[in-house]
Amino acid sequence: MTRRSARPNLTVTLDGEDHRAYEGETILELARRVGVTIPTLCYLEGLSIYGGCRLCVVLTEGDHRLKPACATEVTGDLVVTTVNKEINEHRRRIVELLFAEGNHVCAFCVSSGSCELQDLATDHGVDHIHYDYEYPRNTVDASHPKYVLDRDRCVLCTRCVRVCDEIEGAHVWDVAQRGNEGRIVTGLDQPWGESDACTWCGKCVLVCPTGALSFKGRATGEMVHDPDVIAFLSRAREDQEWVDRKEPV
């Protein structure tokens, strides 16, 4: 969550309705607070903002460029359109590109039914794609005793990188290479099972939006992600819920 003013002293219009907003609040935070849905993929409450997937784009009055709602702070008298034909088309094309880039074959994926990419495709009516499939030759890392990394399903949202660094403090994950060559790696690009830094906490698996990270031995239907746990952990830490405030006797 971004730092914000103590009082909501700004007026921001979302899809024709005025709302009171805090200085420092992002468009996405405001939208969620007032019940307006903006699709996201890389964003996760409790983690730093990456702004890489561009699923959350919106339009602001006076600017023809699409902006990521998760990475754009509100300003006074801002007028925002969170959904229209153009925005929807843009989002749909992004989902299509993600499917074209990877090997997302839902019928053979352990996370089918617990996959944010699958949900986005359904929500945006993606029943076919307009691009050629790239069929990349990715690798699977099953060297860890408890978890599996299937790079065919990875959308490079970096949630695993951020949660491991910012919440667990282990920094096992990173992104190697760039562009089409980009891929998630553990340690210094060694097998996951050989990473001494991994604490086996499983947070990376819980926050993964697709089937890229899964618990070993689970079947489709059993493999459920739980990204909301990070917002809970992060709020509890901010509120110091685990600090014993009792006076010593």
Contact footprint for ligand FES (CB under 6 A): 40-43, 51-56, 68, 70
Residue with tokens 């074959």: 105
Shortest Å, Cβ 208 to ligand FES: 15
Distance from chain centroid for Cα 55: 10
End-to-end CA distance of the chain: give it in Å, rounded. 37
- Cα–Cα nearest to 53, from 79, 90, 81: 90
| Measured CA angle at 76 (ends 73, 80), to 5 deg | 65
In this complex, which beta carbon is closest to ligand FES, that of residue 157 or of residue 206?
Answer: 157
Shortest Å, Cβ 174 to ligand FES: 19
Structure tokens belonging to residue 11: 């007026």
In this complex, which beta carbon is closest to ligand FES, that of residue 182 or of residue 187?
Answer: 182
Shortest Å, Cβ 49 to ligand FES: 7
In this complex, which beta carbon is closest to ligand FES, that of residue 110 or of residue 115?
Answer: 115
In this complex, which beta carbon is closest to ligand FES, that of residue 40 or of residue 60?
Answer: 40
Helix H segments across 81-174? 85-101, 116-123, 159-162
Structure tokens belonging to residue 5: 């003013």
In this complex, which beta carbon is closest to ligand FES, that of residue 58 or of residue 204?
Answer: 58
Shortest Å, Cβ 44 to ligand FES: 9
Cα–Cα distance between 47 and 235 in angstroms, integer? 11
Residue with tokens 């006797």: 249
Residue/partner pairs of 232-236 with CB below 8 Å, 24 or more apart: 232/46, 233/46, 233/167, 234/1, 234/45, 234/46, 234/47, 234/167, 235/46
Shortest Å, Cβ 159 to ligand FES: 10
Shortest Å, Cβ 220 to ligand FES: 26
Shortest Å, Cβ 37 to ligand FES: 13
In this complex, which beta carbon is closest to ligand FES, that of residue 45 or of residue 165?
Answer: 45
Phi and psi torsions of 10, nearest 5°: -115, 155
In this complex, which beta carbon is closest to ligand FES, that of residue 156 or of residue 172?
Answer: 156
| Torsion sign (Cα): 127, 44, 226, 191 | positive
